[in-house]
Chain A
Amino acid sequence: MDLDYDQISKEAQEALDAVLGREEPLKPRDRMAIPAQPMPAQPSGVRVGNMDEVALGYTEAQARVEAMRCLQCKNAPCIDGCPVRIDIPAFVIACADGDFQKAIDIIKANSLLPAICGRVCPQEVQCQIDCTVGRALKDVEKSVSIGRLERYVADLERAQGKAHAPAVKAETGKKVAVIGSGPASITVAADVRREGHAVTVFEAFHKPGGVMMYGIPEFRLPKDIVQGEIDTLREMGVEIQTNFVVGRTRRLQDLLEKDGYDAVFVGTGAGLPKFMSIPGENLVGVYSANEYLTRVNLMRAFDKENADTPVLPSRRTAVLGGGNVAMDAARCAVRMGAAEVHLVYRRTEKEMPARIEEIAHAKEEGVIFHTLENGISFRGGDDGRVHTMECLRYELGEPDDSGRRRPVPIKGSEFLMDVDCVIVAIGNDSNPLIKQTTPAIETNRWGNILVDDTGKTTMDAVYAGGDIVLGAATVILAMGEGRRAAASINALLG
């Protein structure tokens, strides 16, 4: 449902004035009665025609009113839900008081990337899942919107030009190499540089930022925010070498043995697209989500006039998968002009790993959901372009290892779907390049690098974190891992 921006901000202002005009302080019951503030958003009919950010951010009045809903619980279940343990009640009460600078300072004591995490963290399964307000109202969507508040204060600081690069201690003469430039690597680079060690970031792509740059679309995470974090690193004196693929341009051992680096951090992510090994998978028009998203975002296919790297024009696109990546791909396909976008998932909506907000946005934008179905083969014409997807229907059986109920195919339920583009978004494995070229680094059977509880790999002076350790995970977990590894590297270098 599209909400009117002016209406939202007017109501928030009235609610704020009402609270500020009170003689009595707010009691918990009053706080619970304050309406949860909705996120203003571009109307769905408009946003499908552009790449701009969908969620517009709270107004000041909304931020204060939303913050006033917080009960300041002594046991603070929200902190337990936060992977980097931000002092959430403290920053939220600062928001309620209108002291936004204090709020952002509190967040920054634990999180390096609040403008990003405020946008892409799955708060509904982290800090907001056990929020007392949400529990009392029996709806996690009615929990205090901690993420939106985080985003508000981070954006405000940036808009006011007050976001300064952290101070850097005197040069120590030590050198650290950071491989990859996603959130794990950005965190390590900043935390290690702060201590005065020289840091070089090596990134294979022509632009740094990792998945935040090439995968997550502009309409969910504007690229200038990611670029801002990269600029901050540069301001701190971190050197960033793009077009440098460790393992090929230079081997990891050589960085340590020949180039004089004292420690290395590996943050190379989970960049290997999984395919399903089914007939017709290599037809023209069948993409991995990685390829599709990279074409649209990093290579800017959405800017049809200027970009050299297009995606194929499509009438009916099918996206296979039910995670964030699938939603992003489906929503990009809508914006790239497909008349119909079908999202096909083997289980039900309840099992979808995607964020609730993303599912809702995708539906608003006209993505058609097919649950308990999956593609089993693709057929193409003489030109090699896919024109049909053969599908099968499923029902849910017993729970599997992941605790989700296993999809069981229904015999004889095959049917055909007319498609001219398919995006396979069924997950990513770890990028094997570092492992292949660095025998001393051990991995588990999924190719994830093994680390101890300090973030150290099986090779001396080499640390790792983020998706290359966890498997495809989240930005905040990558950041948390980066913090841990950086602390260990700083301890190692003394």
Chain B
Amino acid sequence: MMIAVAWRNVWRNKTRSLVITIAMSLGLASGIFYMGFYRGMMDQRIQTAIATEASHIQVHHKSYLENPDKKFFITQVDSTLDAIRKETGVNAVSSRIILNTMIQSAATGSGVKITGIVPENEKLVTNLYTKIAEGSWFKDGKRNPIVIGRKLADKLKVKLKSKVVITLQDMEGNMTAAAFKVEGIFETSNTAYDENCVFVQKADLARVMVMEENACHEIAVLLNDNALLDQVNTELIGKFPDLDIKNWREVMPEVYLLESSFNLTMFIFIGIILLALLFGIINTMLMAVLERTKELGMLMAIGMNKTRVFMMILLETAMLALFGGMWGILLGWLLNFWFGIQGIDLGAWSTAYESMGFDTLIYTHLPLSVSLQIAWMVMVTGILAAIYPAIKALKLKPAEAVRIDM
């Protein structure tokens, strides 16, 4: 009965309750939608980072990350690769030779990070081969093919089949140069990456550098599931004490920061919205209490104790908040669902986001657990909002409240 009374009391002043309900649902819906957008953007960035750039786990020589010099390479690569492949949870591995050097075309030159890969292995680990916009991904089997990004191709003013020259210092310290022929041009959502990274066959690069075949600078490991990250990471560290094993969170701390700060961002963002709504609810409930002083006084006069009066106001406030909150969450969820399928085109802002490595078509996404957290925050807000009006109600003196003023 108490619940029925509270619920009916909420709707005594329909307009007022409706206004605050609508304010709540719109406020929350936009908050949830924004969080869904942010989360979607973040997840896509992480996925791209794993699929295109960092993979799940990277293996290097102990000193390599501190000082990425070509002399810090991993030896006995074949047996190491085999051992990693046997680890449960590991999907694929790829070994790479990496060198920061200069690339030159007939028109101009640019500093690049050149990566020598075994194409068929790399294909299993990163999805770069799917980003080929023109040409192909090491198909010919010819000597010295190179795959570069669109941005770099534009900068160097080269096309497919154009010749570029890589200048480098070999393992013995001699400066050499080698000509490569553009076989493919890729386009990822990260323009900085497209400008700075080029790919050649590992064997070709090893030959130019006079580096032994069974060596590499980096081994990229792709897992079946990101959830296995910590487990496999620890296993590998135990197995290869002489190597440096790092997961993507360590390799790309800026991306990990996105992930780890999400919850905090959400709490603050939704918290601010709820704080504003809190005052709206308090105002509404205060009005509801003050215009009912006679009735509340009467209830206390006939024997409704303070706990019950308090509970009734609390219940009314919580219901109001939850009702508005429920619609808000539902609306926000629907928006996220719709734009989770349709995607949101960043259009005009896309260049700025692309240069930071973000996709420009964002699919909103918000895990259920986050929605539940928000629902929980709404509940707390409702209860907080109830306290002041409820205390106000308790201060009423029944004798004065029931007295009829002439």
Partners in one complex: no
